[in-house]
Amino acid sequence: MTQTPMPMHTDPNETVQRHLVWRGWLRLAHWSMAAGTLALLFTGWLIANAPSVADHAVQDHYLAAYLLLGGLGLRLWLLLRGGEVERFKTLLPDLTRTHVMKDMVRFYISFGRMPLPRWYAHNPLWGPVYLLLLLALVMVAATGFAQQQWPIVYGFYLPSMHRWWADAIGLFVIAHLLAVVLHDWKGTACDVSAMLSGYRIFVIKRIDPEEIVGTQRISVEQIARPSSRDPD
Ligand code: HEM
Ligand code: HEM
């Protein structure tokens, strides 16, 4: 993990650090899935609502499907074999961090007036939602490829299932975009550009040596693995 101290910060009690949290492979997976999904939502809408261009839209829908599949395949591989913040377990609900999840809910229901809590890589409230999204993307891809050859499987009508999962993903995309813009706007971590550059910004309180009474022991592992801890 890379740390870059930044000297321009003005509050003498705080310091600012940039940490590389999103590796290139995760960013590549994210943007392939994002671009593929947005194109699939658009071409899917054309297929359903614009009969005059539907034939062309089907071809573009398949092209976008391969972009999505590339990103999704890479992301699923990272779930199993990726770095520390990319693995499956980091997207599971973490019951030791329910206080951060509650603060996130307060932040949303106050429309950003309550403080945004801090976190390291994945937002603890959204992690499990991302896991469900990956499942939804697998389902929409499977029903998309299978629906024309096998429209009915075990009594399920695949075109309706495809439409159902596509609508659920559409809702996720709206909520996701609102959330990441709100986090970027009200927070200090520069979340959106972090998904481009890989670096999040952490504002850290300096410790006054006068306040330190006694000696605290911490292990080398704790210093070397800040990603498993809150930055605060
Ligand atoms: C186009 C504008 C988009 C922007 C600016 C954006 C931005 C972001 C940001 C900042 C995060 C990190 C959030 C966090 O702290 O947890 C994130 C995560 C994520 N986003 Fe997006 N996103 C966009 C579109 C999408 C779309 C369309 C999808 C649908 C596939 C998507 C799927 C995800 C997933 C699955 C994650 C979790 C990262 C991972 O572990 O793979 N994003 N996005
Ligand atoms: C990833 C692989 C995918 C494949 C192979 C695929 C394939 C297809 C096919 C063959 C159709 C029917 C076209 C026709 O009626 O001639 C269709 C329709 C549609 N797809 Fe996909 N699709 C995929 C992913 C997605 C995704 C991710 C979304 C949105 C999130 C989506 C949204 C839609 C919509 C809204 C329709 C129109 C349904 C209707 O007519 O009511 N698809 N797709």
pLDDT at 213: 53
Report pLDDT digits (tens) over 211-224: 555 555 555 444 44
d(CA 30, ligand 1 centre) in Å: 6
The structural domains of the chain, with segments of one domain joined by +, span 23-188
Q: Which of 14-40 are b and which e, b meaning 16 or more Cβ less than 10 Å from the residue's Cβ?
A: eebbbbebbbeebeebbebbbebbebb
In this predicted structure, the answer to whether residue 231 has a pLDDT above a threshold of 50 is: no
Number of alpha helices (DSSP H) and beta strands (DSSP E) in the chain: 7, 5
Mean pLDDT, residues 159-181 taken together? 98
Ligand 1 pocket, residue 41 CB under 6 Å: no
Residue 18 phi/psi, 5-degree rounding, is -105, 130
Task: Report, as an integer, the average pLDDT of 151-163.
Answer: 97
Closest by CA to 43, choosing from 70, 61, 59, is 61
Answer yes or no: is the C-beta of 130 below 6 A from any ligand 1 atom: yes
Averaged pLDDT of the chain: 89
Contact 163 CB / ligand 2 (< 6 Å): yes
Would the CB of 40 count as within 6 Å of ligand 1?
no
Measured in Å, residue 158 CA sits from the centre of ligand 1 at: 27
82/220: higher pLDDT: 82
- Residue 139 in contact with ligand 1 by CB distance below 6 A: no
Instruction: For domain 23-188, give its CATH number from 3.40.50.1970, 1.20.950.20, 3.40.190.80, 3.30.450.20.
Output: 1.20.950.20
The answer to whether 37 and 229 have CB atoms below 8 angstroms apart is: no
Candidate from 13-17, 84-88, 109-113 with smallest mean pLDDT: 13-17
Record the tokens describing residue 125, joined without a space. Answer: 């409230």
Give bridge partners of residue 211 from the DSSP assignment.
Answer: none
- The three-class DSSP label of residue 4 is strand
Tell me which residue has its CA closest to atom 26 in ligand 2: 40
pTM of the entire predicted model: 0.87
| Sheet hosting strand 199-205, strand order edge to edge | 3-6, 14-20, 199-205
Query: How many residues are there in the chain?
Result: 232
Kindly tell me if the per-residue pLDDT of 147 is higher than 60: yes
Calculate how far, in angstroms, residue 199's C-alpha sits from the geometric centre of ligand 1.
15
Phi, psi of 124 (to 5 degrees): -65, -30
Cβ neighbours of 137 (radius 10 Å): 23
Measure 9 CA to ligand 2 centroid, in angstroms.
49
Q: Which tens digits make up the pLDDT trace of 47-81?
A: 999 999 999 999 999 999 999 999 999 999 999 99
Q: Tell which one of 176, 190, 197 to mutate to probe ligand 1, the residue whose CB is within 8 A of the most ligand atoms.
A: 176
